[in-house]
Amino acid sequence: MSSKESTESAETEIAERETEATAGTETPGAEPADGSKDEDTGSRRAGIAIAAAVLLACGGLVGYGILNTEEKPKPRAVPTAEVTYEVTGEGTVEVSYLARSESGDATIESGVQLPWKKTVRVPLGKDPTVAIVLGGEGGEAACTLAVHGTHVQRATASGTYGRATCSAPLPRP
C-alpha cells in the first residue's frame, strides 16, 4: 500500500469517527434530525427567569425589613376623667360601678359594708354609673357621683331590696 493510499485511508477513518461522535449531537438553534422542537430549553429558561424574579423580590422585602428603622407610632392614650363613687348609709349592699377600661365591663361587689367610696378613671364619652341594691333586711342608703371632685348626682334607696342608680354623662373626646 502506498503512502498516498494510507493517508487517504486514515483521513477516511477519522471522518467516519467524527461522524459517529457527532451523530447524537445537534447544533444550537438547529432543529433536531427527528423534526421535534426542543421545548425543554424554553420552559427551563422561563422557570429560571421566574425563580430569579421571586428571589429578587424576597431579597428586597428582607432588605426593607432590616433597613426600615422608622419608629412605629404608639397607640394614643384614651383621655379619661376622674370619677368618685360613694355610698353612705348603714349595713351591707351590693354595689355595681363602671371603672371602664376599653372593654366597658362593670365591676360588681357584693356584701359591701357601708360607708363605701371608690375613685376611678373613666374614658371620656362613657357614662360613669354606680348602682346599689339593698338586701332583704332593707334599710336606707344613698349613692353619690362626683366628676373631677364636683358633685354631679345623688340618689337614695330604701326598703327591702331597694335600688338606686347615679350616673352622669362625660364630655366626648
pLDDT digits (tens, 9 = 90+) for 21-67: 555 555 555 555 555 555 677 788 888 889 888 888 888 777 776 77
Which pLDDT belongs to residue 63?
Answer: 75
| pLDDT tens for each residue of 4-28 | 555 566 566 665 665 555 555 555 5
Q: Which domains does the chain have, with CATH numbers?
A: 3-67 (no CATH), 80-167 (2.60.60)
pLDDT at position 119 over 70: yes
Residues written for the chain: 173
Longest Cα–Cα distance of the chain, Å, equals: 143
